[in-house]
């Protein structure tokens, strides 16, 4: 006997979408009815269908950011009913399916809102501030060698697991979008911890945390008030414990860099 397939009853929703023609232009919500919604469609596919309809009518389609559509690139970025990446836990917008909604729902779709993420158009924001933070210290400057060399530096399993949890950050910016203060602390904490937990990340550890935090502050993000809205919406379920670790790392780096002895070589080298 074959299990009966669940019926795929098509339904209708109304999208209330933020439309903004350009970075400086004023924006407003516009409603778009969507009929014949298949519950197995992804949310982005629904936007595609709505956009097809708009194009046929000669209207400007809704601009939204998307790329891999499998939850690993961090490009998609809608705030759906006030929650970045919409209802659901540990998923990006592209992994949200219409079965999460019901017939007749009004779904409010907005861009991520933060001063540091200026809106380019409609739902598309410029998240280059994250790139700047990464460029300030989210790297290591040693040759890591070829694949077999990875085994030449032993890493305790616990550290590797923890570093991997932090490295799961896809840099989507949902943490900033969810934070009541538009703070980027969870993103920076993940990036700082990911490298700081690895032996290869030690030489630049102090410089990294200081530079990344300084760049974060300069980009106009807010401050953390320990409300943990960020980790509640993170598509990779990155824990705010990394923020505590970031705070600790920053404090240690602040004191260590100020009080460590200065090598004679720094003053001109052996002569």
Partner 1 sequence: MNLLGSLFQSSIGKKLLMAFTGLVLFGFVTGHLIGNLQIFLPPEKINAYGHMLESLGAVLWLIRLFLFACLVIHLWLAIQLTLENRAARPVAYGVEHTNRATLASRLMARSGLVVLAFLLFHLAQFTVRIGHPEWSEHTYQLANGPAVRDVYNMVVHGFSSVSVSVFYIIAVGLLSYHLSHGVVSLLQSLGLKNERWTRGLEGFAVAYCWGYFLLNAAIPLAVLGGFVQLHS
Give the nearer residue to partner 1 in terms of CB position, either 99 or 113. Answer: 113
Out of 23, 33, 82, 156, which residue is the one contacting partner 1 (CB under 8 A)?
82
Which one of 40-48, 69-77, 133-141, 222-230 is the stretch in contact with partner 1 (CB under 8 A)? 222-230
Residue pair 194/160 in contact (Cβ under 8 Å)? The answer is: no
- Joined together, the tokens standing for residue 194 give 């990911």
- Report the nearest approach of partner 1 to the CB of residue 207 (Å): 13
Out of 14, 51, 81, 134, which residue is the one contacting partner 1 (CB under 8 A)?
81
Instruction: Tell me the HSE value of 77 on the side-chain side, using a 13 A CA sphere.
Output: 31
Give the nearer residue to partner 1 in terms of CB position, either 94 or 185. Answer: 185
Give the nearer residue to partner 1 in terms of CB position, either 24 or 147. Answer: 24
Which one of 36-44, 55-63, 209-217, 260-268 is the stretch in contact with partner 1 (CB under 8 A)? 209-217
CA–CA dist 37, 79 (Å, integer): 20
CA–CA dist 131, 222 (Å, integer): 17
Q: Does 251 bind partner 1 (CB under 8 A)?
A: yes
Q: Does 243 bind partner 1 (CB under 8 A)?
A: yes
**Per-residue binder mask for partner 1 (CB under 8 A), 168-207, x = binder:** ----------x-xxxx-x----------------------
**Per-residue binder mask for partner 1 (CB under 8 A), 128-157, x = binder:** ------------------------------
CA–CA dist 127, 7 (Å, integer): 40
Out of 8, 23, 29, 159, which residue is the one contacting partner 1 (CB under 8 A)?
29
- Report the nearest approach of partner 1 to the CB of residue 219 (Å): 10
Contacts 24+ apart (CB under 8 A), 18-25: 18/109, 18/110, 18/111, 18/122, 18/123, 19/62, 19/122, 20/111, 20/119, 20/121, 20/122, 21/60, 21/121, 22/120, 22/121, 23/118, 23/119, 23/120, 23/121, 23/126
DSSP-based three-state secondary structure for 176:
helix
Give the nearer residue to partner 1 in terms of CB position, either 98 or 246. Answer: 246
Which one of 2-10, 75-83, 142-150, 261-269 is the stretch in contact with partner 1 (CB under 8 A)? 75-83
Chain centroid to Cα 215, Å, comes to 17
Query: What does each C-alpha distance from 49 to 53, 54, 85, 255 come to in angstroms?
Result: 6, 9, 19, 56
| Residues at the site binding partner 1, with contacts judged by CB under 8 A | 16, 18, 29, 79, 81-83, 108, 110, 113-116, 178, 180-183, 185, 210, 213-214, 216-217, 220-229, 232-233, 239-241, 243-251, 254-255, 258
């Amino acid at each position: 006997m074959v299990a009966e397939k669940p019926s795929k009853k098509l339904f209708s929703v109304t999208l209330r979408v933020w439309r903004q023609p350009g970075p400086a232009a004023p924006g407003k919500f516009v409603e778009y009815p969507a009929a014949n919604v298949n519950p197995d469609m992804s949310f982005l596919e629904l936007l595609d269908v709505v956009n097809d309809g708009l194009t046929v009518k000669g209207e400007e389609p809704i601009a939204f950011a998307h790329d891999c559509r499998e939850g690993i690139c961090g490009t998609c970025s809608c705030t759906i009913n006030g929650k970045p990446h919409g209802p659901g836990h540990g998923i990006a917008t592209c992994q949200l399916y219409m079965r999460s909604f019901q017939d007749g729902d009004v779904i409010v779709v907005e861009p991520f809102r933060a001063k540091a993420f200026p809106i380019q158009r409609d739902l598309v924001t410029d998240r280059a501030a994250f790139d700047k933070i990464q460029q300030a210290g989210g790297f290591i400057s040693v040759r890591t060698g070829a694949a077999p060399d990875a085994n030449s530096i032993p890493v305790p399993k616990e550290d590797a697991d923890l570093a991997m949890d932090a490295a799961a950050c896809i840099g989507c910016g949902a943490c900033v979008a969810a934070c009541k203060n538009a703070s980027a602390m969870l993103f920076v904490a993940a990036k700082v911890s990911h490298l700081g937990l690895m032996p290869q990340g030690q030489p630049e550890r102090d410089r990294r945390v200081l530079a990344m935090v300084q760049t974060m502050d300069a980009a106009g993000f807010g401050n953390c008030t320990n409300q943990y809205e960020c980790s509640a919406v993170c598509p990779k379920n990155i824990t705010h414990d990394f923020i505590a670790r970031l705070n600790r790392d920053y404090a240690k780096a602040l004191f260590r860099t100020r009080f460590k002895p200065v090598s004679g070589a720094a003053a001109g080298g052996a002569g």
